[in-house]
Amino acid sequence: MATETTLHQRRRDPTPSELAGVPWLAALQPEERAMAVSHIKVGDALPGDYVCRVGRPVTYWFGVIEGLLKMSSDNAQGQTITFSGLPPGGWFGEGTVLKREAYRYNIQALRRSVVAGLPVDSFHWLLDHSIGFNRFVMNQLNERLAQFIAAREIDRMANPDVRVARNLAALFNPVLFPGVGEMLRITQQELAYLVGLSRQRVNEALAALQEQGIIRVEYGGLRILDLQALRTSVISSRANA
């Protein structure tokens, strides 16, 4: 029987259109960009493929060109805790790459996805030579810190509508996920995996948000109509819970 190849074994050079989906390349000077482009690899991830695993040494700084990934970990009781969804345009793991340490989380594809990777040594070269790259990474770290603080606060609440709204607001974050825009390609089942609720309960929450004119459920995804209102709905729900 043929041995199934890993995502790493399926790596290849990116196409021009895939490179266009790498947001930090625009922050580089021409010689810096040329170096980065020559080292970036992409892989076609299948549903269930692991991009990163807990305990494995870091090899790349990863980003999502298309598709949807989830960041999760297992607690002492064997339960899976999902930290975040990772839609197009999102690059992740810079803290791990900076410290060259083992991963403390799993990254897994929820659907067919295209994942890009910049080798660790190339990442550190850019840190040493590129002001624009440093600014991008600092903005990433700052925005992610704020995201996880907010997520921890709201995860302590039992209100499922808040959990759905908070996860949606996070997935539409224009700094962390610039490739999403106004339309997020996601199924209600995928969102249920990320939120940790049943598909039926997620559907009820989405219907409520749509009734308020904040989102519109469309074929194959969700369209954001008022991002600020979505963020405010999280705050209001938290205050009224």
Give the integer Cα–Cα distance in Å for 67 and 21: 12
Render pLDDT for 18-41 as a digit per residue (tens, 0 to 9). 999 999 999 999 999 999 999 999
Higher pLDDT, 132 or 237: 132
Render pLDDT for 137-195 as a digit per residue (tens, 0 to 9). 999 999 888 877 766 666 666 678 878 888 888 888 888 998 888 888 898 889 988 88
- Average pLDDT of span 221-241: 69
Residue position matching structure tokens 């539409």? 172
Give the integer Cα–Cα distance in Å for 6 and 3: 9
Render pLDDT for 212-230 as a digit per residue (tens, 0 to 9). 899 999 988 999 898 888 8
| Spans of all domains in the chain | 16-149, 157-240
Calculate the average pLDDT of the chain: 87
What CATH topology corresponds to 16-149? Jelly Rolls (2.60.120)
201-239 per-residue burial string, b: 16 or more CB within 10 A, e: under 16: bbbebbeebeeeebbeeeeeebebeebebbbebbeebbe
Pairing of strands 183-184, 91-92: unpaired
pLDDT band at 5 (very low <50, low <70, confident <90, very high): confident
CATH class of the 157-240 domain in this structure: mainly alpha
- In the three-class reduction of DSSP (H, G, I as helix; E, B as strand; rest coil), residue 53 is classed as coil
Half-sphere exposure of 180 toward its Cβ, with a 13 Å CA cutoff? 26
